[in-house]
Structure 1
Amino acid sequence: MPDIFAAAWGQDHILILAAAAFIAGLVRGFAGFGTAMVYMPVAGQIISPVAAIITLTIMDIFGPLPNVPGALHFANKRDLARLWLGLALALPLGLFLLTRLEPQLFRYLVSAIALVMLVMLAAGLRYHGRLTGAMTLVAGALGGFLGGVSGLAGPPVIMLYMASTLPAAVIRATLLLFLVGVDVLMLAALGLSGQLAVATMALGLLLAVPFLVGNVLGGLLFHPGYERIYRAVAYAIIAVSALSGLPLFDGGMPWS
């Protein structure tokens, strides 16, 4: 077992991956979102698309686990069931396409999705009508599809709930449990398809350490009175990460 982790530590540009995981955790800790939008554009430049998804899922699954019992109490169970149903229907399709994407196309896709979602979040675009069960189901399906093909499962559901009148605690709990469901289903689907390489899982476990440290530090830095500043910083970091992931800029990064 130590040999597996030693091999993972010997991964090319491991320090760049660790830094990306740490910064993703930091943003998640003080802004409450952005893990995949920070990590995936960088990881896609260094490791394969499937490996990037696996490492993201493994490192991301540990952070929310202590909060699951409380989230189960506050979450909107009906919405969560619809989100999970949409997720289960669409995530396999996203993973199917992922395994057939060329790495360069994957990088364009991840960066493009991250930038589009970033613009929509920063602009405060939201639906102003009444949220229906069908819309929740579709949001879960879109999140599942994007999660499978790019690792970016959260933004469609986050944007749906920006229009919700539910209490903030209910929204946070429902989002947390949806994303835990994404991680669990992702690992199950990858395992059933034979994509879960032991070495890649070991790399994900190693990256979980800086990711969790970043989460804790980001949480300590958070102060409700500075929420706008935190969001602006998060948006800037996501933009830099997404732009760096575009193959157009190959040769301009230290790991290129």
Structure 2
Amino acid sequence: MELLASYGAAQIAVAVIATFASAFIRGMAGFGMAIVLVPILALALTPIEAVLIINFLALFIGLSELRMFLKHAEKSAWIIGGLVLITTAPGLMVLAATPPDLARLLIALVALSAFGLILLPTREAKMPGPATTVSAGIVSGLLTGFAGMPGPPVVPYYVGRKIAREIAKASMLAIFTVAAFAGLVSGYAIGELEWRLLWLALLLFPAVLLGNWLGSLAFGKVSDTVWRSFVAFVLAAAALAALFKLLY
């Protein structure tokens, strides 16, 4: 396959291992697959190709979990997801018009802000007001297009509240599945979506299924405190990675 010709055997092995690890994080934390996998895939592919492959994988695994989303996701997830659909393309257009150095700075600041928000005291369980929910949806969509990162406004929205972690995880993953669909549609609209990328996504998908399944098993066995600490760790790693890219 022409796409796979750019990979050596060792690179394919690393991609599969990284896919498994990133899917485990997703199954455990409810997000984070792109944080781990995009930099690995970008070693042999362009960044936008790497992001589109992640979108394929996120959509595939998300569709397999649709029943879980419908059962556990909070109503706000569908509101935010709808706004993500509308605002992803504008985010992509903003990225195209933003100088690369400024874009890297803004992405790093977004990652840092998400980590800072998750450290704040846990808020009450009830759903935030319409303004907060709509803001989270708009910003998540813009960041999906601008940085391939729908999570920074979404993770604090759910993890920062005293709600059951099953609800928080299902709500986040429902939104990220919608964001993956929006990312693929936007990639097609701007002429960047090549169907050959689908084949590599299909090659990697079994590792996603296995890693996500094992992560979900771990999710069911750890305490709420351990889970929230793991989420904070993943966000911290994302923030540090963004800063590293900015400085080096």
In structure 1, which of residues 54, 57, 75 is the aligned counterpart of residue 55 of structure 2? 57
In structure 2, which of residues 172, 175, 180 is the aligned counterpart of residue 178 of structure 1?
175
User: Can you list the C-alpha shifts for 1:69-122, whole angstroms capped at 9, x where unaligned?
Assistant: 242244444x2443133213321121123445677766665555334423432x
What SS does the corresponding residue of 1:224 show, helix, strand or coil?
Answer: coil
The residue aligned with 1:34 is: 32
Q: What CA distance in whole angstroms lies between the structure 2 residues aligned with 1:127 and 1:38?
A: 29
Structure 1: gaps of 5 or more residues: 251-256
1:46 Cα deviation after fit: 5.2
Runs of at least 5 residues in structure 2 that lack an aligned partner in the other structure: none
After TM superposition, the score normalised by the length of structure 1 is 0.75
2:142 maps to a residue whose letter is: F
- Pair 131,119 (structure 1): closer, same or farther in 2 beyond 3 Å: closer
TM-align CA RMSD: 3.5
Residue identity opposite 2:50 in structure 1: A
Distance 1:148 1:134, change over 3 A: same
Give the number of equivalent residue pairs. Answer: 246
Is 2:30–2:172's contact at 8 Å kept on the other side of the alignment? no
Distance 1:97 1:133 in 2: 25
SS of the aligned residue for 1:63 comes to: helix
Counterpart AA for 1:137:
V
* Structure 2 Cα separation of the partners of residues 116 and 220 of structure 1: 30
- Output the CA distance in 2 between the equivalents of 1:34 and 1:153: 10
Q: 1:107 to 1:205 in 2, by over 3 A?
A: farther
SS in 2 for 1:159: helix
Aligned residues of 1:8 and 1:199 also touching (Cα < 8 A): no
Q: Which amino acid aligns with 1:159?
A: P
* Corresponding residue for residue 88 of structure 1: 85
- Which of 136, 140, 144 is the matching residue for 2:137? 140
In structure 2, relative to structure 1, the CA distance for the partners of 1:11 and 1:34 (3 Å cut) is same
TM-score, normalization: structure 2? Answer: 0.77
Specify the SS of the correspondent of 1:158.
helix
Whole-Å separation in 2 of the counterparts to 1:103 and 1:206: 31
Report if aligned partners of 2:123, 2:162 keep a CA contact under 8 Å in 1: no
Letter in 1 for 2:174: L
- Contact kept in structure 1, 2:23 and 2:212, CA below 8 Å: yes
Change (3 A) 1:209 1:249: farther
Return the offset for 1:66: 2.5
What is aligned with 1:209? 206
1:25 maps to: 23
**Separation of aligned partners in 1, 2:127 and 2:23:** 33
Q: Are the equivalent residues in 1 in contact too, given 2:32–2:234 (CA < 8 A)?
A: no
SS at 2:65 equivalent: helix
Mapped partners of 2:234, 2:79: distance in 1: 32
Aligned residue number for residue 67 of structure 2: 69
Asked whether 1:118 is paired with 2:112, we answer no
Q: Which moved more, 1:188-197 or 1:62-71?
A: 62-71
